[in-house]
Structure 1
């Protein structure tokens, strides 16, 4: 079935605004990311849920049931590049998010870094109550889909992310990793993946720098590396000790602004979000664009998997609509059950204190079969009818007045 043939009344409320390495140079994405990420500071007070995804290759905003003034507010965050933002709605936005999670929209098709970055953003924004309600269901399902695709297809066969490509670049440029001292700045999902892969590829001397020293220590102990705090002094020390330094931190200001006069470092790989390394340093700095020729080599091997993943994504869009229908009914039923509890408590009070608990239990038992039936009807595509039934039932329900005695 074609996308435009699908009837998805709930997913039609999904909105996305996206700008990627295809629309603007990667160094500009960092500037845009700063502006868009500032929305998270006020997002808990927004009337709508948001999910913001900022990586080295994209700056995207997903929102639910968006009024036009909010659309303008979101697009204004992209500043002078607002005319390059790709706006999607409904099933098109859902399909795009699924393809992002599957790695189809990445520089390296099928890369896995994006999945870790999506999970980190999701966990943080759910905790701060930014990503919530039905939007939470959509993002959660997309992350689950990304994992399923990589298990059931060969879309990620070979190098697994930009970290893998950068390791290939270093090996092709500088030779055997076992002869090199290597530093990693940042212990997020990209930094952790790099550390493990470097160890597996034969690196013997690895230094891990992170703002949270305990996290750096935990990873270092796991792979036999050396943990260091992340500050100006330790960065200088790393540049003096290491032949190669990978910068993978999330920081809106460059972390490596200069190199000390007696530095040992010969190559710095910048995988940060946004760029971690200043321009015009006296050593070679590898940017994302430098990795594209290597990505293209492996992308050609993965082309045959793309159509398979796209077909799976189209099917998953329908699954998401069903999950949304179930969740929407659950939310509405929560309010309905609150009203049932009020009535049962009042009836129990009238019958005597000992009868209150029994009345509440009996009411729930009587309503539960109806609840499950309504959820199944919603999942079958009858969400609008089910919601109308619930609204009618609440309107007809006689709510007891609070006792004045």
Structure 2
């Protein structure tokens, strides 16, 4: 079984490209229905976050070119536009990559915990669409187990600096006393929930949470004594807030330049701090060109995050060792499964030969053949048939210079070493 991972992430491409290949929830069913047909893969998984889009495929052949063509076509792009920003991992390298992703070693924020949950969601979604089989299911499950070991046996997750935390840290550069500032959070998922906690810890006491569904917005806002609104109400409240942090799964921008310009006039140009964590982006890029607006995307959070990377280098080395062990364990499992399959075929072949020779002996007995003669004929015939094919293959291998085959035969059948004057194994055969 060939394994392939093809992806794009924060290291290989800027947000302007990443948002164009992101998969929205609304198109996941369509993607799964097309992906395996277009690539010939028997199993598939799709991971799409603000920092990466990755496709995991298992099949009989390497399907990288067809995967790239499909990915570009699905998002109405030219494949040439993606060739310089994608990465491809195969077989054991693909196994290692998935485990590094799950453990947070390939994240912008080293060791960040959210990616493991996102990968688990991707696996659940693939199963929901009947896109995974025994191979990818075994890989995902083993990957989650290795990631858990990394979390529990290293310090990679201690004092985590998430994208949410980095966003709030940057807000401190604009507002020294955040207790005086009002925050508008757009979205109500896990990232925004983390943002709300960090803002509250930083002193923010006045919250607005805008979401597509009012109930979810209110539930999150009430955790901090705030108010929930629907997305359409954002323009009515925009002039009253100082901090805007957005992370939704919307395929189109939610906050445009015109709305921000009107709000700035009402605020008499008091500054805005905005972070757009979403991919595709929730805030139109043109907003960043406005005076008195400090707009950042996930790609702008690198300085805060790089400090986190330096503080965790020791833990990362320990994690890499655990992952190397996890990759080897997975490959050993695959080899063991392959051995079981081969042994089943071997036993079935032997049993078939046994049944043939047994039936021949029974016919001889029914025809009046002496039982001892029939029994000896059975033993001789079964022995010859069991040894014929292996003998032929060993002779062929030795003639080709592959002498290790004879050594393997001795090991397989635990044959004792022969005296120098005895014929060799192949001569006996």
Q: TM tier, shorter chain?
A: 0.7 to 0.9
Q: Which residue is 1:54 aligned to?
A: 48
Q: Which residue is 2:61 aligned to?
A: 67
Q: For 1:208 and 1:393, how far apart are their aligned partners in 2?
A: 70
Conservation of the 8 A alpha-carbon contact between 2:108 and 2:302: yes
In structure 2, relative to structure 1, the CA distance for the partners of 1:143 and 1:249 (3 Å cut) is farther
- Deviations 1:27-84 (CA, angstroms, capped at 9, x unpaired): 211112259995751424635221111222222111111535x433311124211243
How far off is 1:182 after superposition? 0.9
In structure 2, relative to structure 1, the CA distance for the partners of 1:42 and 1:240 (3 Å cut) is same
In structure 2, relative to structure 1, the CA distance for the partners of 1:203 and 1:125 (3 Å cut) is farther
Q: For 2:152 and 2:238, how far apart are their aligned partners in 1?
A: 38
- Deviations 1:216-248 (CA, angstroms, capped at 9, x unpaired): 33333344332222x3x3221342232111111
Bigger Rg over Cα: 2
Is 1:293 the counterpart of 2:299? The answer is: no
Is 1:268 the counterpart of 2:286? The answer is: no
Matches within 5 A, 1:5-404: 13-34=2-23, 40-44=29-33, 46=36, 48-65=42-59, 67-68=61-62, 70-76=63-69, 77-78=71-72, 79=79, 80-229=81-230, 231=231, 233-258=232-257, 259-260=259-260, 261-263=262-264, 264=267, 266-281=272-287, 282=290, 283-321=293-331, 378=337, 382-386=339-343, 388=345
In structure 2, relative to structure 1, the CA distance for the partners of 1:156 and 1:83 (3 Å cut) is same
SS, match of residue 219 in structure 1: helix
Q: For 2:350 and 2:214, how far apart are their aligned partners in 1?
A: 56
SS, match of residue 83 in structure 2: helix
How far off is 1:305 after superposition? 1.3
Q: For 1:143 and 1:160, how far apart are their aligned partners in 2?
A: 21
In structure 2, relative to structure 1, the CA distance for the partners of 1:174 and 1:311 (3 Å cut) is same
Q: For 1:73 and 1:248, how far apart are their aligned partners in 2?
A: 32
- Deviations 1:338-373 (CA, angstroms, capped at 9, x unpaired): xxxxxxxxxxxxxxxxxxxxxxxxxxxxxxxxxxxx
In structure 2, relative to structure 1, the CA distance for the partners of 1:305 and 1:241 (3 Å cut) is same
Structure 2: give runs of 5+ residues left out of the alignment. Answer: 73-78, 354-429
Q: For 1:290 and 1:211, how far apart are their aligned partners in 2?
A: 27
Q: For 1:160 and 1:247, how far apart are their aligned partners in 2?
A: 18
How far off is 1:277 after superposition? 1.3
Q: For 1:382 and 1:33, how far apart are their aligned partners in 2?
A: 40
SS, match of residue 229 in structure 2: strand
Q: For 2:351 and 2:245, how far apart are their aligned partners in 1?
A: 59
Task: State the superposition RMSD in angstroms.
Answer: 3.1
Q: How many residues align?
A: 330
Conservation of the 8 A alpha-carbon contact between 2:109 and 2:162: yes
How far off is 1:165 after superposition? 0.7
Q: For 2:102 and 2:348, how far apart are their aligned partners in 1?
A: 36
SS, match of residue 286 in structure 2: coil
Q: For 1:116 and 1:23, how far apart are their aligned partners in 2?
A: 23
Q: For 1:190 and 1:173, how far apart are their aligned partners in 2?
A: 21
- Deviations 1:263-283 (CA, angstroms, capped at 9, x unpaired): 457111010022221122122
Conservation of the 8 A alpha-carbon contact between 2:9 and 2:53: yes
- Deviations 1:303-330 (CA, angstroms, capped at 9, x unpaired): 11121001111112234346668xxxxx
Q: For 1:390 and 1:271, how far apart are their aligned partners in 2?
A: 58
